[in-house]
Amino acid sequence: MTEVKRAFIIVLDSVGIGALPDAALYGDEGSDTLGNIARALGGLSLPNLGKLGVGNLDQVLGTPPITPSAACARLAMKSPGKDTTAGHWELCGVILDKPFRTYPEGFPPRVIQEFESRIGRQVLGNKPASGTEIIKELGPEHVRTGKPIVYTSADSVFQVACHEEVVPLSTLYAWCQIARDILTDEDQVARVIARPFVGTEGSFRRTENRRDFSLPPPRPTLLDYARESKVRVTGIGKIQDIFAGRGLDQSIHTKDNAEGIREIIRLLRGPGEGLVIANLVDFDMVYGHRNDVTGYARALLEFDAALPDMLAALRPDDLFVVTADHGCDPTTPSTDHSREYVPALLAGEMVAPALLPDRKTMADLGATVADLLGISYGGEGESFASQILR
Q: How far is CA 5 from the centre of its chain?
A: 25
Residues 136 and 200 in one domain: yes
Banded model confidence at residue 174, pLDDT cuts 50, 70, 90:
very high
Helices (H), 218-256: 222-228, 239-242
* 204 shares its domain with 226: no
Q: The domain containing residue 128 runs over which residues?
A: 109-214
- Residue 305 has a pLDDT of 98
What local confidence, expressed as pLDDT, does residue 154 receive?
Answer: 80
Q: How far apart are CA 13 and CA 109, in angstroms?
A: 33
Q: Beta strand 71-75 with 354-355: parallel, antiparallel or unpaired?
A: parallel
**Would you tell me how many other CB atoms lie within 10 Å of the CB of residue 369?**
28
Higher pLDDT, 10 or 214: 10
Residue 93 confidence (pLDDT): 98
* Cα separation, 354 vs 49, whole angstroms: 15
Q: Are residues 342 and 262 in the same domain?
A: yes
Total domains in the chain come to 2
How would residue 208 be classed by pLDDT, with cut points 50, 70 and 90? confident
Query: Where is the domain boundary, 165, 185, 214?
Result: 214
Among 182, 214, 246, the domain boundary falls at 214
Instruction: List all residues 6 or more positions away from 202 whose beta carbon is below 8 Å from its beta carbon.
Output: none
The predicted structure's pLDDT at residue 139? 97
CA end-to-end span of the chain, whole Å?
11
pLDDT at 213 over 70: yes
Residues 378 and 269 in one domain: yes
Residues 261 and 181 both lie in one domain? no
Domain boundary (156, 188, 214) is at 214
Average pLDDT value over all residues in the chain: 96
Q: Provide mean pLDDT across the span 12-35.
A: 97
Q: What tens digit of pLDDT does each residue of 109-141 get?
A: 999 999 999 999 999 999 999 888 999 999 999
- Are residues 43 and 125 located together in one domain of the fold? no
Asked if 45 contacts 357 with a C-beta cutoff of 8 angstroms, the reply is no
CATH of the domain at 184: 3.30.70.1250
- Write down the pLDDT at residue 185: 86
Contact status, residue 346 vs residue 319, Cβ threshold 8 Å: yes
pLDDT in tens, 368-390: 999 999 999 999 999 999 999 98
| One-letter-per-residue 3-state SS of 145-182 | HCCCEEEECCCCEEEEEEECCCCCHHHHHHHHHHHHHH
Whether 197 and 237 map to the same domain: the answer is no
Q: Strand 191-198 vs strand 211-214: parallel, antiparallel, or unpaired?
A: antiparallel
Distance CA 341, CA 344 (A): 10
Residue among 121, 201, 124, 184 nearest 160 (CA): 124
> Contact at 8 Å (CB) between 81 and 99?
yes
pLDDT score recorded for residue 186: 86
Q: CA 281 to CA 254: how far, in whole Å?
A: 10
Q: What is the pLDDT at residue 301? A: 98
In a domain, 104, yes or no: no
Quick check: 2 pLDDT over 70? no
pLDDT of the residue at 1: 52
Cα separation, 317 vs 325, in Å, equals 26
pLDDT in tens, 234-290: 999 999 999 999 999 999 999 999 999 999 999 999 999 999 999 999 999 999 999
**In a 10 Å sphere around its CB, with 0-12 CB exposed, 13-18 middle and 19+ buried, how is residue 83 labelled?**
buried
Answer yes or no: is pLDDT of 49 > 90.
yes
Neighbouring C-beta atoms of residue 206, cutoff 10 Å: 17
Q: What distance in Å separates the CA atoms of residue 359 and residue 338, rounded to the nearest whole number? A: 18
Residue 194 sits in the same domain as residue 282: no
pLDDT > 90 in the chain, percent: 93
Would you list the DSSP string of 280-338?
Answer: E-HIIIIIITTT-HHHHHHHHHHHHHHHHHHHHT--TTEEEEEE-S-B--TTSS--S-B
CB 13 within 8 A of CB 280: yes
Average pLDDT over residues 139-150: 98
Give the DSSP H or E segment for 191. Answer: strand 191-198
| Structural domain contains residue 1 | no
